[in-house]
Structure 1
Amino acid sequence: MFDRLSFPQPWLSLILFVIWQFLSDGVSGASVVLGLILAWGIPQMTQAFWPERPIFTKPWRLPAYLMRVLWDIVIASVQVARLILSPRKPRPIFVCYPLELEQPLAISLLASTISLTPGTVSVDVSDDNKILLIHALDAESSEEVINAVRTRYEQPLQEMFK
């Protein structure tokens, strides 16, 4: 009985609860109770979709990672706007990015981060989770894209998920 009452994904539950509190109109007894119900219920309903529990070894690095992503979104938005308004033609490129990440959640976070950043889109992940296909709107070479993704996003995710 206690197994059904437990939180199968405690980090997901915590994130859901905090996001619910931000979305509700102030912290009240009702929003806390509903937040707890959602934080428990959503992971219970989606438990079958989680083949293995993700292992966060350094979760305290997540806020710095999120701040980096938000900063990169702002900078990339300005760069894309400049590119669109300038007479220079963009240099689009597809890049086969070799993944060092192994956990499915970490790979999904990397792909989502790339797609959230204006000017880049993660297109596909290979069946063996070793290659991520990325489309960049404007890049000089594939090495430029690979180095940027590896240093800005993949290495911090590796530190969080090792």
Structure 2
Amino acid sequence: MKRLLPYPAMSLFLLGTWLVLNQSLAVGHLVIGAVLGLVLGAAFGRLQPPPLRIRNRRRLFRLGTLVVGDVIRSNLALLRIMLGGTTRDVRSGFVTVPLQLRDPYGLAVLACIITATPGTIWMSYRAREGLLLIHVFDLVDEADWIRLIGDRYETPLKEIFE
């Protein structure tokens, strides 16, 4: 069974994603989703990902609620800027953030958090130096962004994954 379904959670996730994207529970979509789940789940196994170890599930939940709040707050701030509610000029820019986080799953979650937050995007990561480059739509103070990412996201991610 393990050979046919090496990552059952991944296969189930892919099936669910297929059904949600197609907004249908028709037999044809169930079959296609199941086939995609099996094939892509097996392909995922060939990548030989490192084992996932979540060290602090409670912290993961708190980080998730924090991120949801940050995304909502960022949406409102960006909406204010776009609709002209602010009188100051918006200055976009790049920020280089030094990271101590090295876990690939932690870095992937950080990439999702940064990219999902309106007004910021993950540009590149230099693993050897541990430097993350992000673009910020409304850059006021680089030091604030470095501190924000380090304290608000990197520290909890290190507690969760390392």
Q: TM-score, normalised on structure 1?
A: 0.74
Give, in angstroms, the shift of residue 52 of structure 1: 1.5
1:1-162 matched pairs, under 5 angstroms: 2-5=1-4, 7-8=6-7, 12=10, 42-84=40-82, 85=84, 86-128=86-128, 130-162=130-162
Alpha-carbon contact 1:57-1:161 (below 8 Å) kept? yes
Alpha-carbon contact 1:98-1:130 (below 8 Å) kept? yes
Q: Higher mean Cα deviation, 152-161 or 10-19?
A: 10-19
Question: How far apart, CA to CA, are the structure 1 residues paired with 2:134 and 2:76?
Answer: 20
Question: How far apart, CA to CA, are the structure 2 residues paired with 1:38 and 1:5?
Answer: 13
Question: How far apart, CA to CA, are the structure 1 residues paired with 2:63 and 2:35?
Answer: 28
Task: Tell me what 2:29 maps to.
Answer: none
The secondary structure found in structure 1 opposite 2:148 is: helix
Give, in angstroms, the shift of residue 48 of structure 1: 2.4
Cα 1:4–1:129, aligned 2, differ >3 Å: closer, same or farther?
Answer: farther
Alpha-carbon contact 1:54-1:103 (below 8 Å) kept? no
Alpha-carbon contact 1:102-1:129 (below 8 Å) kept? no
Matched residue type, 2:141: S
Size of the aligned set, in residue pairs, is 159
Give, in angstroms, the shift of residue 135 of structure 1: 0.9
Cα root mean square deviation, aligned:
3.1
Question: How far apart, CA to CA, are the structure 2 residues paired with 1:45 and 1:161?
Answer: 24
For structure 1, the residue ranges without an aligned partner over 5 or more in a row are 27-33
Task: Tell me what 2:28 maps to.
Answer: none
Cα 1:50–1:73, aligned 2, differ >3 Å: closer, same or farther?
Answer: farther
Question: How far apart, CA to CA, are the structure 1 residues paired with 2:133 and 2:54?
Answer: 25
Alpha-carbon contact 1:106-1:161 (below 8 Å) kept? yes
